[in-house]
Chain A
Amino acid sequence: MAKLAIREERCKSCGICIEFCPENCLEIGDKLNAQGYRCVRLADPDACRACGICGRMCPDVVIEVWK
């Protein structure tokens, strides 16, 4: 089981985590955060294998990953 904690208020919608997720499980959601960015969401939780790449590639330390 993978657990992702996404601090939505910090996301800047840059798309880097989505680009590098090897399982294609992230996407830009519809929700706007207080900064005015559409934050990223885990669209396919079952596909996530908790590799941590999204967290490491994110320039804003938005995502933390546990396994």
Chain B
Amino acid sequence: MKAVFTRPESLTDKPFHFCPGCHHGVIHRLVAEAIDHYGVREKTIGAASVGCSVFLYDYFDIDVVESPHGRAPAVATGIKRANPDRFVLLYQGDGDLAAIGTAEIIHAANRGENLTVVFVNNTVYGMTGGQMAPTTLLGQPTTTSPYGREFGQDGYPIKMTEMLAQLEGVGYAARVAVDTPARLAKARKAVFQAFETQVEEKGMGFVEILATCPTNWGLPPLEAVKRVETEMIPYFPLGVYKERKGKDFL
């Protein structure tokens, strides 16, 4: 029989601890497929963030340095500069990347570090109980914005991909979603492209993935999946925001 879909080799056999319907699981699998595809499992070093993705080292058959609280781009910079032959993978949530570690990601991107960043935007601090993040949508109730996010008080949801795409050091920047089979297929391509950017030394490869957090949104899994399309995509438009063709740095 011919395999149509099987578990990627770069995932260990450990069951995910994620809540039912949490997109972290799908995104982990896409990343593992990219590691398999580019044959970099033996030379990949991960830089993991704080948040529900903190157990990266348990789920991937790669080496991982825990770099919590938004510091992954700084730690990864050191790893990559000391070992340029290694493939360095960052996997960060929105609380971690867009709030706690905003300075680190912006400057690593601006320096054009050859890193691959998978940014999981679920519009909340998931692991700590659903507090408001810079990505929380206007009107969205969270534990720290119980009446909904209000721009006069909390500002606007931050669009990291658009921001980073402006920086010369970024070789690839895209926003994708994994809520339907068609969008999942595009997301897979984008993750692969973010890998390729590092392989070809074209600067930072950045992919933002819109994701569910059913638990902290207070929604059953399928309703959470629908929210990606009805509320998230209209504010966070999908697409490729930057794609460097050659090594055409200024």
- A51 and B2 CA atoms in complex are apart in Å by 12
| A14→B5 contact, CB < 8 A | no
Q: Which of B2, B5, B20 lies in contact with A56, CB distance below 8 A?
A: B5
> Chain B contacts of A19 at CB under 8 A?
222, 225
| B180→A55 contact, CB < 8 A | no
| B29→A61 contact, CB < 8 A | yes
| B181→A60 contact, CB < 8 A | no
Known contacts A59-B21, A59-B23: A53-B2 contact under CB 8 Å: no
Give per-residue flags for B152-189: 1 if the beta carbon is below 8 A from chain A beta carbons, else 0. 00000000000000000000000000001100100000
| A61→B4 contact, CB < 8 A | no
Q: Which of B2, B18, B222 lies in contact with A66, CB distance below 8 A?
A: B2
**B: number of interface residues (CB 8 Å):** 26
Scan residues 7-39 of chain A and give those whose CB is less than 8 A from a CB of chain B. Answer: 9-10, 12-16, 19-20, 37
- A27 and B18 CA atoms in complex are apart in Å by 22
How many A-B pairs with Cβ below 8 Å?
74
Scan residues 1-39 of chain B and give those whose CB is less than 8 A from a CB of chain A. Answer: 1-7, 11, 15-16, 18-26, 29
| A52→B21 contact, CB < 8 A | no
**B221 located at the interface, meaning its Cβ lies under 8 Å from any Cβ of chain A in the complex:** yes
- A58 and B22 CA atoms in complex are apart in Å by 10
> Chain A contacts of B181 at CB under 8 A?
20, 53, 56-57
> Chain A contacts of B25 at CB under 8 A?
58-61
In the complex formed, the residue of A with least CB distance to B22 is A59
> Chain A contacts of B221 at CB under 8 A?
14-16
State the Cβ distance, B30 to closest chain A Cβ, in Å.
9
State the Cβ distance, B226 to closest chain A Cβ, in Å.
10
In the complex formed, the residue of B with least CB distance to A12 is B20
- A57 and B11 CA atoms in complex are apart in Å by 16
Give per-residue flags for B135-163: 1 if the beta carbon is below 8 A from chain A beta carbons, else 0. 00000000000000000000000000000
Give per-residue flags for B89-128: 1 if the beta carbon is below 8 A from chain A beta carbons, else 0. 0000000000000000000000000000000000000000
| B15→A55 contact, CB < 8 A | no
Query: Which 10 A-B pairs rank lowest in CB-CB distance, beginning with the nearest?
Result: A59-B25, A55-B5, A12-B20, A52-B5, A14-B221, A14-B21, A52-B4, A66-B1, A14-B20, A65-B4
| Extra 6 A-B pairs, beta carbons < 8 Å, given A3-B1, A12-B19, A57-B181 | A9-B15, A16-B225, A56-B181, A61-B7, A64-B3, A64-B7
B interface residues with partner A (beta carbon < 8 Å)? 1-7, 11, 15-16, 18-26, 29, 180-181, 184, 221-222, 225
